[in-house]
Copies of this chain bind each other. A is one copy, B any other.
Amino acid sequence: MKHKLYYGAAWYPELWGEAERQADLQLMKETGINLVRMGEFIWSELEPEEDVIDVRPFAGHIRQLHDHGIDTIMCTPTATPPIWLTHGHPERLFVRADGAVMNHGSRQHICTNNPYFRQRAAIIAGHLARELGRLPGLVAWQLDNEFKAHVAECVCDTCKVLWHKWLEQRYGSIARLNEAWGTAVWSHTYQAFDQVPQPVATPFLHNSSLVTMYRLFQMEKIAEFAAEQAGILRGYSDVPITHNSSVAFHLDNEQLYRELDFASYDTYASQANRHAYLLNCDLWRNFKPGRDFWLLETSPAYAGSLTSYGQPHPDGYLIAEAVSAYALGAGAFCYWLWRQQRSGSEQTHSSILSAWGEPALGFDNVRAASRARLAIEPHMLATRPVQAEVAVTYSDRTKAFLATEPHRKLNYRSLLSDFYKRIVDMGIHRDLVPEGGSLSGYKLLFTPFVHYLSPEFVGKALAFAEAGGIWIAGPLSGGRTAEHTLHTDAALGELERYAGVHTKYVYPMEGTGSIGKAFGLSAPLSLWSAVFEPLPGGASVIGEITEGRTPGLAFATEQQYGRGAIVMLGSLPAGGDGDQLLRALIGHYAGRAGVTLRSDVTAGTVVCPRRGSSGELWTVVNMDGLGGRVTLPRSGQDALAGRAVPAGPLTLGPYEYRLIALEE
């Protein structure tokens, strides 16, 4: 995976005739496509009748691609089981929490925990692995397609039995479950595991532990299915295995990628949402540290289905997307899709070629991005992304907790995106580090919105602080146990002792007129907030509440810890003033922590630092189409133009990108 940058597209040879396929191969080559992804929806093609299996046509496709200099990432086809697997077998279908049974006619309609499905999935994956697994040109496997994109938790009878087993394994005895979940509230107490319901319709809210545990159970099961399938592929094939996931899907990506070889994702963010585009790069780089991530799906111009569509990219934005992804660690940048589908329900999705075989909107941008890929390739291959000094914790488990407990429609993804955006706009290089990831090498760690802080995580973060790092925890972090209950020793449990604070109150600040003051700035406070007083000899107050229900108490504190510090952020400063206050806080602690991977780049432009044997390489990309500016800290060399660049201001035109090899 290190000898080239992949520039790819999703291809559906099974949907077209030989003439179109040959034309595709030729045009792909001309367009610079060097990777094709295929196969994720071909089950009925491979196995039109149960046990009548023929995967040879795809061996042929892989060979032909290879002959044209194009590598293949082959998918297992389990996202769309054929009709014979579910026709007449409603018990195999996915059942939504509202009781609706999903039917054949779209995708993901089967329960992936159904044993017969697992059996058939193993058989088809085995066939593919055995017959394609060692073909030249095959460079990777993708499992299934967008696990849990369209469905969340299944409540079918198979899942019910598995749920009861899972509970038994987790709790051992029903008494321990009752205690852990506090089921005495509302007389929920269970006498036996097989009485514990799935989170189906009730007149009012379910027990929060039950609902959250059901989500975690289901997340485990999909990771288990992935591991099972990966195991089968590995029996016949040595190429690495990935999956095209997303932060939007109903799974725990960290858990999933533990079973796989490298991390990949799909994204269809529009330009207006370009911070989400960057967030993906900064996150997926860190699921498998040290390995390239692959962007497996993005549109040439816009996403679309029969019932909705996204804004087309402005002319030029696509190039900025490709360059910034490569610079931030992508080993592959792939389009969905090569040739527009004539049927189905995504006929209106942007593609490289139209259904009638002509260049579609964005084709010119695809070619330009291809040229950009070629130009930057040697520089990318000679360097690796630089680890950031600033880390932000990412937690899909938190997504599950907040889905159970949204307060007022809180959504982890948007909370985190907003938080992240500010750091980008401040020109600070950053990593989104999954909960289980290493903190080694970081200077400043943000852990916002993580309801449940596990002992493992807290231990790691304390060690990080002990060693000199600054850990900024909150808002919303730490107030829940592993079981989604409250602590009964202190609002934030043990964390308070380490942070040198006592949480005096926890309450919703919205609309209470609360004002917080810190770093000389005042701003309204928002969200459910923890309000602190320092423990004797403990933390110092850095953010004081000056108005509202609890004036005089603190919303932000700092406690020296080892050679570092623990900063508690109990509330979220809001609005324009809140943004200023948060910037002051981030800037202050970035300074204190000695963060150097930072520039004065204008918002809308991004600096992607990499390093190789010959030193540091900045890739600077304008993303907003308005052009931008950054001060180069040292003189350097324009790696593409091959000419010297002085230290000082560097300006970029709309969507322009520059590769600057900085002098050491």
Which A residues are closer than 8 A to B by beta carbons?
12, 14-15, 41-45, 48-49, 77, 80-84, 87, 94, 98-109, 149-151, 181-191, 195, 197, 199-210, 301-302, 304-309, 311-312, 314-315, 340-348, 350, 354-358, 360-361, 404-408, 483, 485-491, 504-508, 510-512, 528, 549-550
CB contacts (< 8 Å) of A491 on chain B: these are: 354, 356
One of B151, B206, B315 near A203 (C-beta < 8 A): B151
Whether A512 touches B306, Cβ cut-off 8 Å, given contacts A105-B188, A184-B44, A507-B350, is no
Whether A205 touches B84, Cβ cut-off 8 Å, given contacts A189-B48, A342-B488, A507-B361, is no
Shortest CB–CB separation between residue A280 and chain B, in angstroms?
A: 22
Whether A345 touches B206, Cβ cut-off 8 Å, given contacts A107-B186, A306-B405, is yes
Bound-state CA distance A585–B340 (Å) is: 33
Contact check, A83 vs B407: say whether CB atoms are below 8 A apart: no
Contact check, A201 vs B80: say whether CB atoms are below 8 A apart: no
Bound-state CA distance A364–B375 (Å) is: 69
Contact check, B100 vs A99: say whether CB atoms are below 8 A apart: yes
Closest residue of chain B to A202 (Cβ to Cβ) is B106
CB contacts (< 8 Å) of A489 on chain B: these are: 356
Contact check, B186 vs A80: say whether CB atoms are below 8 A apart: yes
Shortest CB–CB separation between residue A40 and chain B, in angstroms?
A: 9
Closest residue of chain B to A201 (Cβ to Cβ) is B100
Shortest CB–CB separation between residue A493 and chain B, in angstroms?
A: 9
Contact check, B202 vs A109: say whether CB atoms are below 8 A apart: yes
Contact check, B189 vs A44: say whether CB atoms are below 8 A apart: yes
Bound-state CA distance A200–B90 (Å) is: 13
CB contacts (< 8 Å) of A41 on chain B: these are: 185-187
Closest residue of chain B to A407 (Cβ to Cβ) is B309
Bound-state CA distance A106–B203 (Å) is: 7
Contact check, A508 vs B190: say whether CB atoms are below 8 A apart: no
Contact check, B309 vs A408: say whether CB atoms are below 8 A apart: yes
CB contacts (< 8 Å) of A407 on chain B: these are: 306-309, 348
Contact check, A182 vs B344: say whether CB atoms are below 8 A apart: yes
Closest residue of chain B to A309 (Cβ to Cβ) is B508
One of B101, B104, B549 near A361 (C-beta < 8 A): B549
Shortest CB–CB separation between residue A156 and chain B, in angstroms?
A: 13
Contact check, A109 vs B301: say whether CB atoms are below 8 A apart: no
Bound-state CA distance A321–B191 (Å) is: 43
